[in-house]
Amino acid sequence: MKSFKLKSILTISIILSQSFPIMGHGNKWEANRPDAHAPISVMQDHTHNQQEWMLSYRLMNMDMRGMRQGSHKLSNADVFAKGFMVSPVEMSMNMHMFGFMYAPNNQFTLMAMGHYTEIEMELSAMPGSMAQMNNGSYFKRESKGWGDTTLAALINLGEFANHKIHANAGISLPTGSIDKTDNGHLPYPMQTGSGSYELKPGLTYSGQASKISWGAQIMTKFAIDKNDAAYSKGNSTEGKIWGAFKLSNWISLSSQISYLNQSSMDGNDVRIQSKMSPTMDPANSGGQTYFWSLGANFLIFKGPLEGHRFAIDYSAPLDQDLNGIQMQTADTVTIGWQKSF
Ligand SMILES: [Cu+2]
């Protein structure tokens, strides 16, 4: 009886897998195709085979423009009317991310990622205020330096034909600064680090068929201590789903939807006492954001760059519901290079 059931299940699965070639042919996972990697804005998306290692570089440029309270846009005048002397106008952030991956065996892939950040913020001062007398109507603040460093183990939980799933066990080390100054101590969004140790557990699934591929990832982050200035960044949960279409052996196009839920900061830095600008109040942090993105992955097949991967991803918000009064995200562009050895 048991073996009859088993045979029936086997027969049905074989018939199903042959009738729906889009679900795969029961093939093994194929790593040597452009969409074997997720859109470049997704981190820790893939694992490596035993003894393989990989270097990567990503440049992420995020532009923030305008202010928002909850899900309503605010003008600078609105911000001044709420008692602030200064309102951010625009912020541009460049993150240079350097990644290293190594798989000691097929079960585990180890990953390290550090980044260098450059932040520039343009602010406007309330007409007639002290801030305007000291800085002019519009002024800039800059900050740059190394950010926090993530170490992670990606643990293969299973590979069934063209489906893969792995756990992400990461920790973020406080290598970034919380002491950045530019005409005084800079507000929270312009510090390059969190100052805390943060755990980053997550789960990643990916699937592949002959012309298409898809995936999903959930990543969480929570601080396990407060930093030297007695605060920690809010906990966050981020969910992403994506699909990709393999145009040819060397190019794939992708689309992604993501959701980020982050709670407000816990505690505050006594060096940021003034509430001149909304960015100086820890209550104005965190929120819920939805993004969509479009991307392309390239895998070079011949010539001197054989085996090199290049990718680009453009992302913009669908909806932002922010805690308190904050700058809103305009868009993010990520470009990247990856090479396995
Ligand atoms: Cu890799």
Q: What is the pLDDT of residue 1?
A: 42
H or E, element range at 156 = strand 149-160
Closest C-alpha among 147, 151, 140 to residue 94: 147
Ligand 1 centroid–CA 47 distance in Å is: 6
Ligand 1 centroid–CA 173 distance in Å is: 20
Ligand 1 centroid–CA 212 distance in Å is: 20
Which residue is listed with tokens 């819920």?
A: 288
Per-residue pLDDT of the chain (341 residues; tens, 9 = 90+): 445 554 554 454 444 444 444 444 457 889 999 999 999 999 999 999 999 999 999 999 999 999 999 999 999 999 999 999 999 999 999 999 999 999 999 999 999 999 999 999 999 999 999 999 999 999 999 999 999 999 999 999 999 999 999 999 999 999 999 999 999 999 999 999 999 999 999 999 999 999 999 999 999 999 999 999 999 999 999 999 999 999 999 999 999 999 999 999 999 999 997 789 999 999 999 999 999 999 999 999 999 999 999 999 999 999 999 999 999 999 999 999 999 99
Residue 280, amino acid: M
Q: What is the pTM of this model?
A: 0.89
Ligand 1 centroid–CA 99 distance in Å is: 8
What are the domain boundaries of the chain?
42-340
How far is it, in rounded angstroms, from Cα 298 to Cα 307? 10
Q: What is the pLDDT of residue 18?
A: 45
Ligand 1 centroid–CA 48 distance in Å is: 6
Q: What is the pLDDT of residue 3?
A: 52
Ligand 1 centroid–CA 41 distance in Å is: 13
Q: Is 253 helix (H, G, I), strand (E, B) or coil?
A: strand
Residue 9, amino acid: I
CATH class of 42-340: mainly beta
Ligand 1 centroid–CA 104 distance in Å is: 13
Please list, in sequence order, all residues whose beta carbon lies within 8 angstroms of the beta carbon of residue 232, skipping any fewer than 6 positions away: 194, 195, 196, 223, 225, 226, 265, 266, 267
CB neighbours of residue 270 within 10 Å: 10
Q: What is the pLDDT of residue 14?
A: 45
Q: What is the pLDDT of residue 16?
A: 42
Count CA atoms within 13 Å of residue 333 on its CB side.
5
Q: Is 5 helix (H, G, I), strand (E, B) or coil?
A: helix
The answer to whether the beta carbons of residues 212 and 246 sit under 8 Å apart is yes
How far is it, in rounded angstroms, from Cα 115 to Cα 58? 9
DSSP state string for 159-225 = EETTEEEEEEEEEEE--S-S--BSSSBPPGGG-S---S-EEEEEEEEEEE-SSEEEEEEEEEEEESS
How far is it, in rounded angstroms, from Cα 106 to Cα 91? 42
Q: What is the pLDDT of residue 8?
A: 57
How far is it, in rounded angstroms, from Cα 169 to Cα 325? 33
Ligand 1 centroid–CA 339 distance in Å is: 8
Ligand 1 centroid–CA 56 distance in Å is: 8
Q: What is the pLDDT of residue 243?
A: 98
Ligand 1 centroid–CA 30 distance in Å is: 14
Ligand 1 centroid–CA 119 distance in Å is: 27
